[in-house]
A and B are shown apart, each in its own frame.
Chain A
Amino acid sequence: MHKILRTRRIAVLAAAATSSLLLSACGGGGTVGGGDAKAFSLTINDDNHIVQEELTALSKGTCAAQNKALPLKIQTLPIGNVDQKVQLLAGQNALPVQFAAGGTPQLTKTLDKAGQVLDLEKTLKDLGVWDDLQPAAIKTVENLYGKFNVMPYQFNIEGIWYNKKLFADHHLTTPATYDQLVAAAAKFKGAGITPFAADGKDGWPLTRLVSGYLYRELGPDALQAVADGKARLTDPPYVKAAQAIADLGKAGYFGKGVGSIDYDTATQQFLTGKAAMFYMGSWALGDFNDKTKNTIGADNVGFMSFPTVAGGKGSADQIPANVGLPVAVSAKSYDAKVGDWLSCITKNYGAASLKDQGTVSGFKPHGDTGSLPPLTQTVQDTISKTTTSILWFEALFNTKATETSQTNAAPLVTGSLSAKDFMQKIQTDLDNG
């Protein structure tokens, strides 16, 4: 008899344990962090070398005191996994102090709603460093995120970088129209040079070409119209843009194996003279100004904005501007030490990144910026001349549509996915989002 009781007791215990687990799980909000950061941690995409290098330099130099109080610790991961990782970490209340905002602003908005993202406008004003930000950068961030809650470590324009020497050798002028661009590509292909270096593994450098074409064809509101539901990606003019880029791939203008080429390899192709053109943001200036990486020489790199399309509504001075993949700050791990770090960065990052990397950030440069490399000067001038800034292809998409777009970019240019199906897939995800 007592044996039976004993098994009963075990059963009861098991049931109790189970239910307590269940209860604790349904209990909602777990522990709240609140300034117990052990390090000034940063989780960032691994192809973003500039921010890592610059923060490391600051931690050893101007911000050494802050670093002593709260050491900088950087973790990198492939850009394709950033969104996933950030959500996993947020789900465990384990967000690092700073983390790369998602590939889509929508994710940051979601995290913000859940109280995970620090309101930087308030924080930086409290710290008294609000005036150290570039107004243009503030505006860009607010346009994208609805409020100022990411650190604008980069302030970039995007366009096509080209190898001046190769263009001269083949008697080509800088293309002003899309047709001229294609003609130039054909000439390079004939000469055995890869016309466009492109990171097809991550896909976004390819979809940027689609949006570039779209903006030139339909004008700067092309993608806002899709977000507002006034237009669909499956409409003929939108499919036409995807088709144009697919045709570049079909003609072999991205070289072979574009789907397996990653960011570093693509950069290398361009900087070793194997490829004539390279669509990229100005964050790549760090690599361009780096003599060990750039064997064609910085003065051989030219910049053109995406050329106009015949009969299109857009113009070439509408330039994609963004704050790169910005970095958000975790609200849960904010404390005085983190504040110290943030104000030190805001005050000094602008000048340091200009001086060391020749890249433009969203912080005002104070003091010694060194002599600017000519390429950087070009970018500065272009930024000041820009009338309308436009966004990249996936800027207004949800996470799933973004991923669909970027993973299907390589199939689009290798011809295993038609332009219509490519747009249809993304539109479906937008509709279900």
Chain B
Amino acid sequence: MRSVLGDRRALAVLLGPALLVYTLVMLVPMGWSLGYTFFKGNVIEGFTFGGFGNFEKLWHDSQAHSALWFTFKYAIAVSIGQVLCGYLLALLYVFVLRKSSAVVRTLVFFPVILPTVAVALMFQKLFAVAPQNGLANAALDGLGLHHGDWFASAGGSFVVLVVMDVWRSMGFYGVLIFAGLVDIPDETLESARLDGATGWRLIRHIVLPLSAPVLLSSVVFSINGTLKVFDSVLALTNGGPGSDTTPLTLYMFRTAFSYGDYGYGSTIASLLTVVCLGVTLVIFRFSRRDLTKG
């Protein structure tokens, strides 16, 4: 039995190709990128060894610091927005709409699958002030709230960016968390109800703890996506105004391909990698402790 389940030939056939592709196209380049961090230059000019110069540069580079800060700010705002809206949607589906939730679920899920660039261009026009007020501005004006050019200030651009990304993805998280809530046994809910737990208390003491696992994987999934944000920023604000909405990903891309510095670009990419791994580990740590307590 064991020998069959551990058959090496089958193992090689099944796992080999995937592992090979993954190693060659991802693992090797990762190490290689780390190697680049000690060099200056690019493909066009050639490379020169620079020792730890790139790391020193990163330490003093105010643009990198603001990009890091923006990455965090964006990741926290959008992740909270995504998961919170998703959770509220899931509660709506399960407790308010019940059986009739299917149509709404379908509608709200739809923006998830739209091309990012298309959505970003749409939002650009929604919030435009020139040549004409876009729909969002027109609506705000109608409510008597006058807002100038959204994309002229760091704050305004940030708001539009977060609104867009939450709008786009809350349907996905709604369905994801809904899947977790549906699995809560009826008997549990019923007995809680008989004990007099309703509304908020029911959610707080029964639903929330029981949906903790799905919530955790949603948070991890969400953070992982938001830390690597690239396309929505590029298409919506192109990192502007100035470089106020430039996350690490975009800064790396520019450094490598506009300013022609592969070494420094790799150094920024390494920083981003460290951040991604670090944040995920922290979440897992934190959640494990929390779960044992609960």
A192 within 8 A of B: no
Q: What class of interface size applies to chain B in its complex with A?
A: 35 or more
Q: How far is the CB of B46 from chain A (nearest CB, A)?
A: 8
- Complex CA distance for A408 and B63, rounded to whole angstroms: 13
- Complex CA distance for A28 and B242, rounded to whole angstroms: 37
The answer on a CB contact under 8 Å between B241 and A410 is yes
A88 within 8 A of B: yes
Q: Tell me the nearest residue of chain A to B42, going by C-beta.
A: A91
The answer on a CB contact under 8 Å between B9 and A3 is yes
Q: Tell me the nearest residue of chain B to A399, going by C-beta.
A: B259
B131 within 8 A of A: yes
Given the known interface contacts A84-B258, A90-B44, the answer about A417 and B242 at a Cβ–Cβ threshold of 8 Å is yes
Q: Tell me the nearest residue of chain A to B129, going by C-beta.
A: A257
The answer on a CB contact under 8 Å between A110 and B9 is no
Q: How far is the CB of B9 from chain A (nearest CB, A)?
A: 6
Which chain A positions have C-beta within 8 A of B244?
Answer: 411, 416
Which chain B positions have C-beta within 8 A of A259?
Answer: 149, 151-152, 240-241
The answer on a CB contact under 8 Å between A255 and B130 is yes
Given the known interface contacts A116-B44, A255-B130, the answer about A416 and B241 at a Cβ–Cβ threshold of 8 Å is yes
Q: How far is the CB of A342 from chain B (nearest CB, A)?
A: 24
- Complex CA distance for A314 and B43, rounded to whole angstroms: 43
- Complex CA distance for A261 and B149, rounded to whole angstroms: 11
The answer on a CB contact under 8 Å between B149 and A10 is no
Q: How far is the CB of A258 from chain B (nearest CB, A)?
A: 8
Q: Is the interface of A mostly helix, strand, loop or mixed?
A: helix
B187 within 8 A of A: no
Which of these binds chain A: B16-24, B70-78, B103-111, B174-182?
B16-24
- Complex CA distance for A229 and B109, rounded to whole angstroms: 57
- Complex CA distance for A268 and B132, rounded to whole angstroms: 14
Q: How many residues of A contact B (CB 8 A)?
A: 47
Which chain B positions have C-beta within 8 A of A260?
Answer: 124, 128-130, 149, 151-152
- Complex CA distance for A88 and B257, rounded to whole angstroms: 6
A21 within 8 A of B: yes
Highest count of chain A CB atoms <10 Å: which of B238, B240, B242, B243: B242
B288 within 8 A of A: no
Q: Which 9 A-B pairs have the closest CB atoms?
A: A257-B130, A257-B129, A91-B43, A257-B149, A408-B242, A3-B8, A414-B152, A411-B241, A400-B259
The answer on a CB contact under 8 Å between B12 and A110 is no
A69 within 8 A of B: no
Q: What residues make up the interface of A, taking CB atoms closer than 8 Å to B?
A: 3-4, 6-7, 10, 14, 17-18, 21-22, 28, 80, 83-84, 87-88, 90-91, 110-111, 113-114, 116, 255-261, 265, 268, 398-400, 403-404, 407-408, 410-411, 414, 416-417, 425, 428, 432
Q: How far is the CB of B257 from chain A (nearest CB, A)?
A: 5
Which chain B positions have C-beta within 8 A of A398?
Answer: 259
Q: How far is the CB of B14 from chain A (nearest CB, A)?
A: 12
The answer on a CB contact under 8 Å between A407 and B149 is no
Which chain B positions have C-beta within 8 A of A88?
Answer: 257
The answer on a CB contact under 8 Å between B258 and A256 is no
The answer on a CB contact under 8 Å between B45 and A113 is yes
The answer on a CB contact under 8 Å between B28 and A6 is no
Can you report 24 A-B residue pairs in the complex whose CB atoms are below 8 A from each other? A3-B8, A10-B12, A18-B28, A28-B46, A80-B238, A87-B42, A87-B44, A90-B43, A255-B130, A257-B151, A257-B152, A259-B149, A260-B128, A265-B131, A399-B260, A403-B258, A403-B259, A404-B242, A407-B239, A408-B243, A411-B152, A411-B240, A414-B153, A416-B154
- Complex CA distance for A417 and B242, rounded to whole angstroms: 9
Which chain A positions have C-beta within 8 A of B28?
Answer: 18, 21-22
